[in-house]
Amino acid sequence: MQRLVLGNWKMHLAAGETAAFLRDLLPRLPRRADREIAVAPPFTSLPAARAVLGDGPVALAAQDVFWEDGGAYTGEISPLMLQELGVTYVLIGHSERRLHLGETDLMVNRKVRAALQSGLRPVVCVGEQEEARASGRAPSIVRAQVLRAFDEVPRADADRLAISYEPVWAIGTGRAADPPAAAEMHDLVRSELRRLFGEAGAAIRILYGGSVSARNIDAFMSAPGLDGVLVGGASLDAQEFARIADFEAHS
């Protein structure tokens, strides 16, 4: 299984900045068959990113998608629109959307199914708030998010899914989860995926996200069960993101 390193730029880098950044980034990235690299610019920068990336090895991702192909949904972007732009992956259910925009598990599920129907590859984000971890409720919250996100998703689509465990308290704070704790939660997620998809659940990539940096990437990728990382702020620094993509994993 290829590891996936996906940079989420959030609301940063307009179109011109995106093109310049990618021209700086691409020569720095490793060319290794055991990993895949993707970037998720803002919607308005997707065409500029596509123009620079072309059909090269770095995949294009979007930060969100709507669950209808078209209609009276002001401000939304459909799966078909993303597909036309050459998008491969789409983030769904990021904690910032759940927190600031009221995105629910039902909405996440509708987006997952719509993305799959249009040929996109969903990367579903799950994770707990700090108070939930402190009270011991993290496993039940993450388990429920996984089960609801993939409700009525056919087993035949399992090989196009990925999931990112992101403890909400670690996002943008510099306080990453320690690798053993991340690996423990990944085991829980893997167990639920096997329950939902049978043996096909073993092939779904499980990423870690939350203050991933050049300093901690090797430790994360050496932890058992981690199939990649979702990188936030560090993906906006070409040198640091290239170092993250060039991780060394030790068993």
Q: What is the mean pLDDT of residues 192-211?
A: 94
Catalytic residue list contains 84:
no
Would 93 be classed as within a structural domain? yes
CA angle 163–209–29, rounded 5-degree value: 100
Q: What local confidence, expressed as pLDDT, does residue 67 receive? A: 98
Would 87 be classed as within a structural domain? yes
Q: What is the mean pLDDT of residues 139-157?
A: 95
Radius of gyration of the chain measured on its C-alpha atoms: 17
Catalytic-role residue among 94, 96, 103, 186:
94
Total domains, the chain: 1
Which H or E element spans position 151? none
Would 86 be classed as within a structural domain? yes
Q: What is the mean pLDDT of residues 59-64?
A: 98
Would 41 be classed as within a structural domain? yes
- For residue 232, is pLDDT > 70? yes
Q: What local confidence, expressed as pLDDT, does residue 178 receive? A: 80
Please state the separation of Cα 63 from the chain's center in Å.
9
Confidence of residue 128 (pLDDT cuts 50, 70, 90): confident
Confidence of residue 132 (pLDDT cuts 50, 70, 90): low
Contact 104, 112 (CB under 8 A): no
Which pTM value belongs to this model?
0.95
Would 103 be classed as within a structural domain? yes
- For residue 170, is pLDDT > 80? no
Q: What local confidence, expressed as pLDDT, does residue 251 receive? A: 62
Q: Parallel, antiparallel, or unpaired: how do β-strands 58-62 and 35-40 relate?
A: parallel
Catalytic residue list contains 166:
yes
DSSP string, 205-250: EEEEESS--TTTHHHHHHSTT--EEEESGGGGSHHHHHHHHT----
Backbone angles phi, psi at 57, to 5 degrees: -75, -15
Would 54 be classed as within a structural domain? yes
In whole numbers, what is the pLDDT of the chain averaged over residues?
A: 94
CA angle 9–113–182, rounded 5-degree value: 50
Q: How far is residue 246's CA from residue 227's CA, in Å, rounded to a whole number?
A: 14
Q: How far is residue 66's CA from residue 218's CA, in Å, rounded to a whole number?
A: 35
Q: What local confidence, expressed as pLDDT, does residue 114 receive? A: 98
Would 63 be classed as within a structural domain? yes
Q: What is the mean pLDDT of residues 93-110?
A: 96
Instruction: Write out the residue range of the structural domain in which residue 136 sits.
Output: 3-245
Q: What local confidence, expressed as pLDDT, does residue 184 receive? A: 87
- Low-confidence winner among 5-9, 15-19, 80-84, 170-174 (lowest mean pLDDT): 170-174
Confidence of residue 233 (pLDDT cuts 50, 70, 90): very high
Confidence of residue 187 (pLDDT cuts 50, 70, 90): very high
- For residue 15, is pLDDT > 70? yes
Would 18 be classed as within a structural domain? yes
CATH of the domain at 90: 3.20.20.70
Catalytic-role residue among 96, 103, 128, 166:
166
Confidence of residue 63 (pLDDT cuts 50, 70, 90): very high
Locate 99 and state its tokens.
């927190």
